[in-house]
Amino acid sequence: MSISDNKKIWNEKVTKSLAKSPERMDPFLTSSNIEMERCFTPGFDYPGYEEQLGFPGEYPYTRGVQPTMYRGRFWTMRQYAGFGTAKESNERYKYLLSAGQTGLSIAFDLPTQMGYDSDAGMSLGEVGKVGVAIDSLADMEILFDGIPLDKVSTSMTINSTAAILLCMYIAVAEKQGVSADKISGTIQNDILKEYMARGTYIYPPKESMRIITDIFAYCKDNVPKWNTISISGYHIREAGSSAVQEVAFTLADGIAYVDAAIKAGLEVDEFAPRLAFFFNAHNNLFEEVAKFRAARRIWAKIMTERFGAKDPKSQMLRFHTQTAGCTLTAQQPDNNIMRVTIQALSAVLGGTQSLHTNSRDEALALPTEDSVRIALRTQQVIAYESGAADSIDPLAGSFLVESLTDQIEKAALEYIAKIDSLGGAVEAISRGFQQKEIQDSAYCYQKDIEKDQLIIVGVNKFTVTEPPPTGLLKVKEEVEISQKASLAAMKGSRDNAAVKASLAQLEAAAKSTDNLMPHILAAVKTYATLGEIADVFRVVFGKHTETVVL
């Protein structure tokens, strides 16, 4: 068929889809009353157009995973938040929802991420500092008090203890009268990038992969609206990778997860539609747009050509984006507002499904309410005022963007081939391959800054003498004291015999081949703590020792 024939068919799909979103219907006009077409396409025989670009919502999804994209509805505006106690974080979530946020994104403190209760020796000084402290179902009930879980989509940035936190979420929903098949959201649940870039791993890779595939299998039947993993390039980029490495290493991890699930007995189209991704939005506007487009195209080809996926939803790379924390500067922090705006715009022009914008003061402390509101307003201004969302994939056909997309695709595929030759992502990580590549990239980046070959405004050029910052948000030391007291009171009031029995059943399941999720959920409902459950796995699975890269 000709491009014009295909465009006619595509337009029929779009018209049908837009009927469900009357608030985003035609016409869209510029300030000069020029009509903005839904989607611009070449009026000439663009080489490789059908194979490489096509139309939005169609294979290979270079131009977006939905035919309507933001002409149907905006991306989910999801601000990452959590600090101190569950009560304090609950208040912040309600504030953000009242300010127009359309989805929750939960930050957990380091003890929660690492499987320690607040009263553990390893937790000293870290309780509630970089996220909310969650020790048990009791904390989770407070965290979502007054927030209807059948109405709100929730993303949880959690990896080693993801199964435990998901079970707590399911249990809270049930207490609200909401069944598991009605809740929606995402757990990050991406352990491989922890070994290479972030460090919040607990168990060895083999055992961690078992927990992940158990989550896939359980949610397929019981929590069908839940995204069971958010395969993350964000932290890879934060550790210092290039844009190409971010795409390549993230998709290589995705291949490893799909392989593991298939080996565990799942059919690819049973679980792949619930896979999601998480990318960084860095400073180079056009490279970032091209990166998102290339990632979609590569993944579509991997899923069809490598894994034989037939369901279009299995072929689609759906992703959340967060602006780049590593680009935020403590010097002249208001400059970060402009950086975040450019980064957020790249995510929108690149077709993200949800977005978190960092706050101006995050290089100094947890963000204040004023800073969070500015970050959220940045998304809202892009959505409602900039015109960036008025046409689908507006940069398609740009010589610059298409060339960058092709080059990123080629370079990323070369990395993936190298990882395959090493035995796949897990084996390559065990050899330190990705870690070394990221370290080398980070070193070169920092060297360029120190040699003034890369200008960071306010850091190595256009500097000023500044007074010490004021008005920063600080987590009080009393948080740890009160959290420990609440934990002790909960332990004193629960049925400890039931807790002991549930943990024994969990240990037996861990030593067998049973799916772990029903046993974790049963333990959570007895108010067994996160640390107690994680300790069962530490005993059965052991702990991972970091690979030293020389």
Q: What is the CATH number of the domain that holds 139?
A: 3.20.20.240
- What tokens appear for 41 in the block? 């396409």
Query: Are residue 31 and residue 122 in the same domain, yes or no?
Result: no
pLDDT exceeds 90 at position 78: no
Given a contact cutoff of 8 angstroms between Cβ atoms, the answer to whether 321 and 277 are in contact is: no
Query: Are residue 9 and residue 146 in the same domain, yes or no?
Result: no
| 548 occurs within a structural domain | no
Q: What are phi and psi of 232, to 5 degrees?
A: -105, 120
Q: Quote the domain boundaries for residue 360.
A: 74-422+437-450
Give the span between the Cα atoms of 93 and 107, in whole angstroms.
Answer: 11
Query: Are residue 299 and residue 233 in the same domain, yes or no?
Result: yes
pLDDT at 548: 63
Give the span between the Cα atoms of 336 and 332, in whole angstroms.
Answer: 8
Query: Are residue 17 and residue 124 in the same domain, yes or no?
Result: no
pLDDT at 4: 66
- Regarding beta strands 154-157 and 103-107, do their DSSP bridges make them parallel or antiparallel, or are they unpaired? parallel
Query: Are residue 21 and residue 169 in the same domain, yes or no?
Result: no
| 507 occurs within a structural domain | no
Query: Are residue 46 and residue 94 in the same domain, yes or no?
Result: no
pLDDT at 475: 84
Q: What are phi and psi of 356, to 5 degrees?
A: -120, 130
Q: How many domains does the structure of the chain reveal?
A: 2
| 547 occurs within a structural domain | no
Give percent of the chain above pLDDT 70.
93
Q: What is the mean pLDDT of residues 92-108?
A: 91
Give the span between the Cα atoms of 530 and 415, in whole angstroms.
Answer: 37
- What tokens appear for 12 in the block? 């029929």
pLDDT tens track for 485-514: 999 999 999 999 999 999 999 999 999 999
The one-letter amino acid code at 293 reads R
Query: Are residue 209 and residue 302 in the same domain, yes or no?
Result: yes
Query: Are residue 35 and residue 81 in the same domain, yes or no?
Result: no
Query: Are residue 214 and residue 180 in the same domain, yes or no?
Result: yes
pLDDT tens track for 207-262: 999 999 999 999 999 999 999 999 999 999 999 999 999 999 999 999 999 999 99
pLDDT exceeds 90 at position 156: yes
Query: Are residue 104 and residue 150 in the same domain, yes or no?
Result: yes
Q: What is the mean pLDDT of residues 288-294?
A: 97
pLDDT at 204: 95
For the beta carbon of residue 222, count every other beta carbon within 10 angstroms: 15
| 492 occurs within a structural domain | no
DSSP code, position 136 = S
Nearest CA-CA partner of 157 in 219, 103, 214: 103
Given a contact cutoff of 8 angstroms between Cβ atoms, the answer to whether 510 and 163 are in contact is: no
State the pLDDT confidence band at 44, using cuts at 50, 70 and 90. Answer: very low
Q: What is the mean pLDDT of residues 457-483?
A: 91
DSSP code, position 74 = P
pLDDT tens track for 125-152: 999 999 999 999 999 999 999 999 999 9
pLDDT at 42: 61
pLDDT at 441: 96
Q: Is the CA virtual torsion 78, 83, 86, 91 positive or negative?
A: negative
- Please give the helix or strand (H or E) that residue 229 lies within, else none: strand 229-232
pLDDT exceeds 90 at position 79: no
